[in-house]
Structure 1
Amino acid sequence: MPKEIRDAASHWVAMRDAGTMTARDECDLATWLAADPLHARAFAEAEAFWGTMSGAQVKAALHDRYGRTTVPRGLRPGAWLSSQWARPALAASLVLILVGSAQDWPTRIRADAVTETGERRDVSLDDGSMVQLNTGSAIAIDYTGNRRVIRLLKGEAAFTVAPDRTRPFTVRSGEGSTTALGTRFIVRHDDESTNVTVTEHRVRVAWPTPYMATLDLDEGQATRYGPGGIEPAHRVDASAATAWTRGVLVFVDRPLGEVVAELNRYHPGIIRVIGADLAARRVSGGFRTDDPVGAIGTLQHTLGIRSTRITNRLIFLHS
């Protein structure tokens, strides 16, 4: 659907929700809806998405986005949400976000940088530090005079930290945090757990419950934390761990189910393995992150398995 139609539909939904529609506006809306079936469809979709949002969700998202940094008084939510134009503008913005990603809008509101499925993105920070976002990831940036905090809202990111002894560099993910004591590390957030891998120097991982626990990781070490606390450090292959930053996924003797789950992160569709025995078969190899469908073809040939495809968006692997 053309972007201009989606934008127009969002505008109309925002005006109606804000209660600013005049009799003339209602006539104009009716004329616009009747002019093209796509107009009515776009309006219905935008209205449905907007209707799924609660005031509490919007308030929480806005508080997280604006309450964590210093914002000029005129731009604070309390000052501008009540203005005549602010509510329609906010509504239109949120509707557009929802149309693009119905389930992901709270993350997008809070985020300063986002990647779509299959995308990687380099983000330069004000202090000279660098962040490389992996597929389907999002971060929020909170820099102040005495600290540098990045919140990993979802996904995975590699951090190259510029030294600054006066301002610690911390990545928060879930309930825990990782503070750089060196320069390069990777953080990945999956559901309730977070994985941390150090590729250069050292980091300190902290988990607050049931008591504040910390673990220092050296270069080539990794850990995971979550509801069960912080797991002991273990050695990893740093080259394999950072392969995604070069557009490659490397697997050494991993179950097919795990390999396919990783490929799914880069695929704008669904790939499934049918059967526990097949999912347990071991796989070694390297695959390009920009061609998960090609990787599936390679796996089929190597393992001698078959696939059923409902277009390349829905693929089932089976014996």
Structure 2
Amino acid sequence: MKGATSDDARRADDEAVEWVILLREDPDAAETRAGFEAWLAASPLNARAWAATAHAYDRAGDARPAYAPPVRAAEARPVLPGGPLPYLRRSRTARAAPRLPGRRALVAAVTAACVTVIAGPAVLLHLRADHLTGTAELRAVALPDGSVARLAPASAIAVAYAGNHRQIRLLKGEAWFDVRHDPARPFYVDAGGVTTTVLGTAFDVRRDAAGVTTQVARGRVRVDYAGAAPPVSAELTPGAGLRVTFAGTTAPAPLPADQVAAWRNRQIIVRDRPATEVVEALRPWFAGVIILRGEGFARQRVTGLYNAANPVEALRGLAQAYGGRVTTVTPWIVVLSES
């Protein structure tokens, strides 16, 4: 479109999502509808953005994960206006372009959510893992030596025991280990190159895209990461924890020993941590997609105990306590935003 920039397109995309939320909250308000109609008519970019957004919203209403029932029914879904016919037809019939400048971040996330919740776990992960869990699933695994691994939701491990060592690879997510002592066969957990070696213990290891967190409930472990400069090597005792990023930075992650791996009791415990950490901890418990909007809210420091068994209500509690708002776009797409 002549004269339009990528920033203009992003602005139109963001505003289209805001109108989805406003029209859902009060679909019969004449003032809201008049404001929407004025915005829609103000620019062809607005019309195009709305056609794509309304179409994604409509398609998302039918999206259902194959592996789990909904945690909670969505709020009432009013029928949204479709927008000008030429743009609506184009959004429904045109093939996806290889490059779309100014592609909306949130609308793309909503559209991708429809695919994500249906597709299920990656085939490659299934091939690599010996044991894995789905959404909101906990699993106890008896290891060959009598040790026990407990997997958090959306987690996967591979087991490689040999005559002189016991190795677990944490491929995804989080796991708790209660290890039987055997000095002749060291037990260690490899999570993306961050290795936790058991010195007789029960401990938790969590892996995410940025790094690995190890926390100890009983005994001792040593955490090593050769990928850092200088290499990381630290010994942890009960109540101690260490966060190691794949970039090589470290930070203490202490937690009282009786609160380590609280997810085993379907609890999320945070103390003076960013709100985004609560959201990340709840994602594996939700059979869909959680979208967090607003950097200010995401960075806000929070403290609390959250019920992972009901992630939508946990998000509502977080929002109520710290000034946010929760909107369920479909049963599978929840938006947490600033008030």
What TM-score, normalized to structure 1? 0.63
Distance 1:141 1:235 in 2: 28
Q: Deviations over 1:214-246 (max 9, x none)?
A: 221112111122433362655333333321111
Could you list the per-position Cα deviations for residues 87-143 of structure 1 after superposition, in whole angstroms to 9, with x for gaps in the alignment? xxxxxxxxxxxx985661111101110001211111011111000101110000011
Question: What residue in structure 1 maps to residue 224 of structure 2?
Answer: 206
What secondary structure is seen at the aligned counterpart in 2 of 1:155? strand
User: Where does residue 38 of structure 1 map in the other structure?
Assistant: none
CA apart distance, 1:250: 1.3
Q: Which residue of 2 aligns with 1:307?
A: 326
| Residues 181 and 116 of structure 1: CA distance in aligned 2, closer, same or farther (over 3 Å) | same
- Give the deviation of 1:308 after TM superposition: 2.4
Contact map agreement 2:268 2:278 (CA 8 A) in 1:
no
Amino acid of the structure 1 residue aligned with 2:217: T
Q: 1:192 to 1:274 in 2, by over 3 A?
A: closer
- Bigger Cα displacement from structure 2, 157-166 vs 184-193: 184-193
Matches within 5 A, 1:1-319: 101=119, 104-209=122-227, 213-229=232-248, 231=250, 233=252, 235-303=254-322, 305-318=324-337, 319=339
- Does the aligned pair in 2 maintain the 1:117–1:267 contact within 8 Å? yes
- Cα-to-partner distance string for 1:170-206 (whole Å, 9 max, x where unaligned): 1111112111002211111111411111111111112
Distance in 2 (CA, whole Å) between partners of 1:218 and 1:167 is: 21
How far did 1:276 drift?
2.2
RMSD: 2.5
User: Secondary structure at the residue paired with 2:285?
Assistant: coil
Partner of residue 23, structure 1: none
For the residue of structure 1 that corresponds to 2:140, the secondary structure is strand
1:92 paired residue number: none
Q: Contact between 1:119 and 1:134, CA under 8 Å: does it hold in 2?
A: yes
The answer as to whether partners of 2:213 and 2:253 remain within 8 angstroms in 1 is: no
SS at match of 1:191: coil
Give the distance between the partners of 2:119 and 2:284, measured in 1 at CA.
16
> 2:331 & 2:249 partners in 1: Cα distance?
39
Q: Is the 8 A contact 1:293 1:312 kept in 2?
A: no
Higher RCO (C-alpha under 8 Å, 6+ residues apart): 2
How many angstroms apart in 1 are the aligned matches of 2:136 and 2:313?
14
Looking at structure 2, the residues matched to 277 and 233 of structure 1 have their Cα atoms a distance apart, in angstroms, of 24
What is the aligned-residue identity percentage? 38
- The AA in structure 1 aligned to 2:207 is H
Q: Could you say if the C-alpha distance between residues 234 and 277 of structure 1 is closer, same or farther in structure 2, counting changes exceeding 3 Å?
A: closer
Distance 1:113 1:229 in 2: 28
What is the CA distance between 1:265 and its match in structure 2?
Answer: 2.5
Residue 160 of structure 1 and its aligned partner are, at CA, apart by: 0.2
- Return the alpha-carbon distance in structure 2 between the equivalents of residues 112 and 249 of structure 1: 26
Cα contact 1:223–1:230 (8 A) shared by 2:
no
| The 10-residue stretch of structure 1 (171-180 or 237-246) with the greater mean CA deviation from structure 2 | 237-246
Shift of 1:312: 2.8
Superposed CA deviations along residues 232-274 of structure 1, whole A, max 9, x for unmatched, are 6553333333211111111223333332222123212122232
Structure 1 residues not aligned, in runs of 5+: 1-98
Q: Once superposed, which parts of structure 1, at least 4 consecutive aligned residues long, lie more than 4 Å away?
A: 99-103, 210-213
Q: Which runs of 5+ in 2 are unaligned?
A: 1-116
Number of aligned positions between the proteins: 222
CA distance in 2, matches of 1:229, 1:307: 35
SS at match of 1:181: strand
Distance in 2 (CA, whole Å) between partners of 1:182 and 1:274 is 43
